[in-house]
Copies of this chain bind each other. A is one copy, B any other.
Amino acid sequence: MKVVIVGGVAGGASAAARILRLDEYAQIIMIERSGYVSYANCGLPYYVGGVIKEQEELTLQTPESFWDRFRIDVRVRQEVTAINPAEKTVTVRTLDSGKIYTETYDKLLLAPGAKPTVPALSGVSSERVFTLRTVEDTLRIKHFVEDQKPKTAVLAGGGFIGLEMAENLVEMGVSVTIVQRPKQLLAPLDTDMASFVHVEMRRHGVALRLGETVTGFRQDGDSVLTLLEESEPLRSDMVLLAIGVTPDTHLAKEAGLELGIRGSIAVNERMETSVPDIYAVGDAVEVTHFVTGQKALILLAGPANKQGRIAADNICGGNSHFTGSQGSSVLKLFGLTAASTGINEKAAQAAGIAYDKVVLFPASHAAYYPGARSMAMKVLYEKESLRLLGAQIVGGEGVDKRIDVLATAIRAKMKALELTELDLSYAPPYSSAKDPVNMAGFMIEDLESGKVRQFHWNDVEDLPCDGSATLLDVRTEGEYRRGHLNGFRNIPLDDLREHLDELERDKPIYVNCQTGLRSYLACRLLTQYGFSCAHLSGGYSFYQVVTQEQQTARSAYPCGMEKL
């Protein structure tokens, strides 16, 4: 069997090694346009920043090591320019010599990946405007940074690569501005959760220009101007264009393969394309979202590697299935970890799924053991069915653990209430006896059994200020004094029982505290004394971070301030 693999990074390289483990007699040719195979594409920003010191560390395998260990014929700096499915051949161009040749295949695996989206803007080809995809791109940026010692950089785009590059450039002393059209960084997070990322970026001196549209670039001497639709141009020593990536599928398209959403390659669960004996994996293919069941593009290294293995099994006569991706991701940003799995509120709304949510701020480990730090956690579940839909967590230590536990629970199709039963490991340096994931389950249980009702930060501006409701802050006097929601009166939780007769029984009560725990306790108490009560999910601190970061009308307190 002769297998040609187009693309030698995550999915392609995984598949190549697996095919040979399954079929020692297979002849495998892996063709890669860049000069490197099986490189650490998720590590590239860290090489620019010097966190990864040696260039060799970026390349997990070389053409030589692939040959020595696997007898895989790796051809770098060669490009497949056409597929001829009828004759089962590919046309290959050697980049250095320009030589063109034809290669036959029994099975063809496409793993072309995705390329940085480069919009047709003026000045986009300036030598100071960079994109980051390959090792070569990385070296180009690294050399520029070392030679030119840029003091300022504009990053167009606030996704994974953009933010990782921002961190690495800041650590090198570069002053960084991120410009992007959406009003938040990191699309996998909802706007409220992204606020914590904004705070961290600003805390490290990164300027955020959210909601701004780049209209072009103009080289101006030793600097480059980033032109904005509604503001003055930004001058910087370099620009990194990281507004997104696009499946690199022109080859598949020209060969007549069926395409999926946004120009991706359509495949079935066996990673087979619409054309016999042609498989496709990785960032170029459309997948089924595990939570929504809808077609999706989820460009992550984890699924790509798994798909490579599955395609290899099937190429070798097996019957393996890729059962969908749920988009679990994690990102380090200075001292912050931001992670998500499943779907967020935006996606649930787009998919028409009726959901509810809890927001909590549990400690990473037992509060009495040094180093504990609270994390912001949001868990979504479907109303009625109570199945888990997704989670987002931002914080420090232990964020990746909780997101992976929740990712596993989602994969297992657990109901939200089952989170209360998870038997997770506990010792003071690692967790609390009730783990944050258990806590989310307890909160959902209380919500679903009607023990408590909640309102959210974006409901605050619509609270009645006309005296038809009681607005109550149950924090301590000191906390209240340091800042509170307009129109809210203060009765500390521990004093509440003594002041019940001051509350009007026929009016609904809206309660807030700092993070949502004491307001929950207050609501339980008030409900039992016959009051109608709802509490502010995530509390005053969540409201504050979110509304300040949004810099919008939402920061208007409910009462006594004009709405913009």
User: Which A positions have Cβ atoms within 8 angstroms of B?
Assistant: 10, 21-25, 40, 42-43, 46, 51-52, 57-58, 60, 68-69, 71, 160, 290, 300-306, 309, 323, 325-332, 337, 339-341, 366, 368-370, 400-401, 403-405, 407-409, 411-414, 418, 420-431, 433-435, 438, 442, 451, 493-494, 497, 521, 524-525, 528-529
Interfacial chain B residues near A42, Cβ < 8 Å: 366, 426-428, 433
List the number of copies, as a whole number.
2
10 more CB-based (< 8 A) A-B contacts, given A328-B426, A330-B430, A404-B425: A21-B524, A40-B428, A46-B428, A71-B497, A290-B423, A302-B423, A401-B404, A404-B424, A407-B424, A412-B418
In Å, the complex CA distance between A517 and B40 comes to 20
* B427 and A331 within 8 A (CB): yes
In Å, the complex CA distance between A561 and B362 comes to 57
* B369 and A43 within 8 A (CB): yes
* A409 and B407 within 8 A (CB): no
Sample (23) of A-B pairs whose CB atoms are under 8 Å apart? A22-B524, A24-B524, A24-B525, A25-B528, A40-B428, A46-B369, A52-B370, A58-B368, A69-B493, A300-B426, A302-B424, A302-B425, A306-B420, A306-B421, A328-B426, A329-B427, A331-B427, A337-B430, A404-B404, A404-B435, A407-B425, A408-B422, A411-B421
Interfacial chain B residues near A435, Cβ < 8 Å: 302, 404
Interfacial chain B residues near A51, Cβ < 8 Å: 369-370
Q: How far is the CB of A317 from chain B (nearest CB, A)?
A: 12
The 10 closest A-B pairs by CB, nearest first: A412-B412, A330-B425, A24-B528, A401-B401, A301-B433, A57-B368, A408-B408, A328-B425, A68-B494, A305-B433
* B40 and A434 within 8 A (CB): no
* A326 and B427 within 8 A (CB): no
Interfacial chain B residues near A300, Cβ < 8 Å: 426
* A302 and B71 within 8 A (CB): no
Q: Which of B327, B411, B413, B422 contacts A407 (CB 8 A)?
A: B422
Q: Which of B24, B160, B326, B412 contacts A408 (CB 8 A)?
A: B412
Of chain B, the residue at the smallest CB distance from A412 is: B412
Interfacial chain B residues near A408, Cβ < 8 Å: 405, 408-409, 412, 422, 424
* A326 and B403 within 8 A (CB): no
* B366 and A40 within 8 A (CB): yes
Interfacial chain B residues near A304, Cβ < 8 Å: 433
* B60 and A368 within 8 A (CB): yes
In Å, the complex CA distance between A22 and B409 comes to 28
Q: A412-B414, A528-B24 in contact; A52/B369 too (CB < 8 A)?
A: yes
Interfacial chain B residues near A306, Cβ < 8 Å: 420-421, 434, 438
